[in-house]
Amino acid sequence: MGSDICKREPHTGGESSGPSRRVDLAAREATRVGMLMVAPAVIITAALVIYPLATGFETSLRSGDTAVGGQPRFVGLGNYGDVLSSSTGRDAIAHTLVYVALAVTLELALGLIVAVALHRVFRGRGIVLAILILPWALPSVVSGVLWRRVFDPDSGLLNSMLAQLHLVSHPHVWLASRGWALVFITLVHVWGVLPLVSLILIAGLQSIPDEVYSASAVDGATPLRQFRYITLPLLGPSIAVALTVGTVWAIKIFDEIYVLNGTALNTRSILMEVYNTTFVNADFVHGTAFAFILTVVTVLFAAIYAVALGRSRT
């Protein structure tokens, strides 16, 4: 009896090794097929993204003597130093930081208010959501043209309304002042991005179970405490996504500035400076260097949000 069992054990092990070997072969085959299917996308990405990035970074490390018929020289990070030491470059960076700070703060604060207000189902909610999405659906150039009519110093809606209310005695050129121009351009930008941020936060609110609020209400939690200790912590991932999207859109702000105030120095952002340096002044090496600085700033902001989100989860 015992000898029969001993004889059967190796046979059983052999049967189990056969299916496992077939599973391993199927997994390797699936991996191979997946790599073959992904390969075209990787090749196209490398050709259209990675190669231009590498070529552009190499260009930013050389001199611009080719513009006058000379031979390019390797200057290392010299072009980056020139960009950061120029007054227009420093002003563009400062303006961009102002745009980011104001835009992200307003978008997150107003987005939370809109998301909480539209979270519950009510009559006409679909119409309100459609109206909310409209500014985001409009191209930023179209939004800039519409708002330019508002800020027009001669026949703009803002001057006319303030004059009717006897708050101003003469028309103001609102975009001539550096402070007001930055604020108004930021408001136009927020008007276009706020719907997207609100939708992200609404989706985050809808993912929170209603049972959590019911249980906290039984324990005596007020709506304010529910928002502080339930909504905000559970909305953390959505807030991180909204912050990332809002920051990236604010860093690359261009259309609103160009339509409302052109290439004026008092509102020029980093991306506007990249455009002006590269295509207006035909200074490709410094323009490319500035573009890579913009990329680094964007990556830093995204990394900060990712680290903050990871710490909040732990």
pLDDT tens-digit map of 93-142? 999 999 999 999 999 999 999 998 888 878 888 888 888 888 888 888 88
CATH of domain 78-313: 1.10.3720.10
Q: Reduced to 3 states, what is the DSSP secondary structure of residue 75?
A: coil
**How far, in Å, CA of 83 to CA of 202, rounded?**
41
Provide DSSP, 222-249. -HHHHIIIIIHHHTHHHHHHHHHHHHHH
| DSSP symbol at 107 | H
pLDDT of residue 51: 85
Q: Residue 267: what residue type?
A: T
- The answer to whether residue 16 scores a pLDDT higher than 70 is no
Q: Where are the domains of the chain?
A: 2-60, 78-313
Mean predicted lDDT score pLDDT of the chain: 83
Q: Reduced to 3 states, what is the DSSP secondary structure of residue 139?
A: coil
- The answer to whether residue 6 scores a pLDDT higher than 60 is no
Q: Beta partners for 62?
A: 74
pLDDT tens-digit map of 161-219? 888 888 888 888 888 888 889 999 999 999 999 999 999 999 898 888 888 888 888 88
pLDDT tens-digit map of 257-307? 999 988 888 899 999 999 998 888 888 888 899 899 888 888 888 888 778
Query: Which one is predicted more confidently, 159 or 310?
Result: 159
pTM value? 0.78
